[in-house]
Structure 1
Amino acid sequence: MTNNSSVGRAYLLRQINFQVILVQLLVLIFLCINVLLIVTFFSKDVFYVNMRYILFAVTLLSDSLILIMSDVVLILSYFRFTMQVGMCVIMSIFLLLYTFVTPFTLTAMTLERFVAICMPLRHAELCSTHRALHCILIIHGLSSVRCIGILSIFFASASDRFYTQDRKCSVEMFILRRWHDHFRSAISQFYFLIMCITIVYSYIKITKVAKAASGENKKSTRKGLRTVILHAFQLLLCLFQLWCPLIESAVLQIDFMLFVNVRYFTYITFYLAPRCLSPLIYGLRDEMFFHALKYYALCGLYKKQ
């Protein structure tokens, strides 16, 4: 029994090591791609005076920050590093805030496509650079509501001595009562309900315009329709992320090894994957951005050719 237990622990340790290394490689690849896209965005004036590209840059910056912070928390957890709760609160503010910045920005980008296709005469007025800055403030304001609510309940429930304790840093640390988790889930579900309704409404309206369009307008409308579908798929992956803690808690009661594998799968599929789709949607599908990206990726050789 002792030998079997030792072999099992050694196998589990090797598997966890492989998983952590693979996550580091994926995060590094995604960050390099995002940095290249951000450099491309700031390379031409036409990008940062266009609302669509400005919102795209917001998703890149938000996703990059989330990738870095979540990876730091993963590494700290892997090495069993503890810190004072007060320090962990500061780190978790960014995770709680920027978890919803990307979904809200995706919804705003969907509305921008809706205005461009269904109300083309008002697009320049409604989607100006000035309106884009207001939109970014609204996105961060809505994202902060959930963060402020969770932290307010935590500060009201935790004792003063709790902040000086050394613990493993995780967002779950703020769930001191069962109803705290229900409150966090309720806000998240409400947000995603509003986002889903917005995207479905935009999809239906764009579909009607696509049926009535012809020639070059029909091609442009269908491209916008595909973009909305990809945004919906991204939001669906983000929605699944809300259910992951419930699934993981149930699996943990069954088998720890299965719990490790399930948590690894959910982190890759529902946390990393939605944040690598933005480069696919706009970095590669948008013709103007793709040519600029290709120029910088090939160090200027593309322009010469």
Structure 2
Amino acid sequence: MPAGACIVISMLLGTLSYNTPLTLTAMCLERYVAICMPLRHGQICTVKRTLNVILIIWLTGSIPSFRDFIIVVATEAKNILCERNLCNYDLMMRSSWQSYMRSVMAMLYFGVMLGTVAFTYVKIMKVARTVSADSSASKARNTILLHAFQLMLCLAVLVSPFVEMEIFRINQNIISHIRYFNFIIFNILPRCLSSFIYGVRDEKFRAVFLFYVTFGLVKVVLKMSVKAGTDHF
């Protein structure tokens, strides 16, 4: 496709790749406020502030992509936007120092996010130990662990291109399979994990999910859920 269209698509996808871990970090901070400052949770986590956080996430996530776009516009000839190329984000990586700067910034982003998640986990753990009977603190701790695992998967996206390059040098025939595997594990899985786990926690969803995933074999769970007062499926 034309390089101009590819750059626009790459900028959007690059921004979304940062938005996922930034959103997970914001969710961890919300759990921290809910558990450690419960009396102020309603005042801090308002709808207006939530919308502001979403805007900040989009602005922060778009910084690396806009930086690379500005470098391309400033250093390359304008006719490059009309050239047809195989679409890839690397199209905006015009020099080795630019790739190095991109990696440093990505590591900085994820370092700050992992530090924030670790801070919220430690604080929630203290509350969970002092109030051992509080199930909400225990659930919040498990939520933080889930988000930390998702962040680690997102962080692996930074390493996967280097692994792909080494594999490409050894065996070019399997590189497409490696890229497909990395895309499923490090791009799709972190984005689906939260929705799936939160859904499985719900009794109605869990009953219907087990019913369909076992091709109707787990009918006992479905009947028990109906008897418990849930909706008929």
Bucket of the pairwise TM-score, normalised by the shorter protein? 0.7 to 0.9
Q: How far apart are the structure 1 equivalents of 2:148 and 2:35?
A: 17
Amino acid at match of 1:223: K
Q: How far apart are the structure 2 equivalents of 1:233 and 1:129?
A: 27
**Correspondence for 2:142 among 226, 230, 233:** 226
SS of the equivalent of 1:169 reads coil
Q: Deviations over 1:187-239 (max 9, x none)?
A: 11110000000000001010010000042x2x111111000000000000000
**Correspondence for 2:90 among 172, 178, 182:** 172
Amino acid at match of 1:241: V
- CA shift at 1:294, angstroms? 7.5
1:242 equivalent in structure 2: 158
In the alignment of these two chains, the number of paired residues is: 215
1:254 equivalent in structure 2: 170
Give me the TM-score of the superposition, normalised by structure 2. 0.85
SS of the equivalent of 1:303 reads coil
2:216 equivalent in structure 1: none
Determine what percentage of the aligned residue pairs are the same residue: 37
Name segments (4+ residues, structure 1) moved above 3 Å. 290-295
Q: Does 1:97 align with 2:15?
A: yes
Change (3 A) 1:184 1:109: same
Question: Which moves more between the two structures, 262-271 or 228-237?
Answer: 262-271
Note the aligned Cα RMSD (angstroms): 2.1
1:196 equivalent in structure 2: 114
Give the conservation status (yes or no) of the 8 Å contact 1:192–1:239. Answer: yes
- CA shift at 1:96, angstroms? 1.4
Q: Deviations over 1:257-295 (max 9, x none)?
A: 23233222211211111121021232333x4xx648979
Q: What does residue range 279-294 of structure 1 map to in structure 2 within 5 Å? A: 279-285=195-201, 287=202, 291=204
Amino acid at match of 2:38: P
2:231 equivalent in structure 1: 303
**Correspondence for 1:126 among 20, 40, 44:** 44
Q: What does residue range 180-219 of structure 1 map to in structure 2 within 5 Å? A: 180-215=98-133, 217=134, 219=135
Q: How far apart are the structure 2 equivalents of 1:152 and 1:146?
A: 10
1:14 equivalent in structure 2: none
Give the conservation status (yes or no) of the 8 Å contact 2:11–2:62. Answer: no
Q: Deviations over 1:106-161 (max 9, x none)?
A: 00000000000111011001111111111111111111111111111121222122
- CA shift at 1:241, angstroms? 0.5
Stretches of structure 2 that go unaligned for 5 or more consecutive residues are 213-225
SS of the equivalent of 1:167 reads coil
Give the conservation status (yes or no) of the 8 Å contact 1:110–1:228. Answer: yes
2:57 equivalent in structure 1: 139
SS of the equivalent of 2:231 reads helix
Change (3 A) 1:222 1:257: same
Change (3 A) 1:275 1:126: same
Q: How far apart are the structure 2 equivalents of 1:304 and 1:233?
A: 35
SS of the equivalent of 1:168 reads coil
Give me the TM-score of the superposition, normalised by structure 1. 0.66
Q: Deviations over 1:10-58 (max 9, x none)?
A: xxxxxxxxxxxxxxxxxxxxxxxxxxxxxxxxxxxxxxxxxxxxxxxxx
Q: How far apart are the structure 1 equivalents of 2:90 and 2:195?
A: 30
Give the conservation status (yes or no) of the 8 Å contact 1:118–1:209. Answer: yes
Q: How far apart are the structure 2 equivalents of 1:91 and 1:263?
A: 19
Q: How far apart are the structure 1 equivalents of 2:76 and 2:62?
A: 21
Question: Which moves more between the two structures, 155-164 or 224-233?
Answer: 155-164
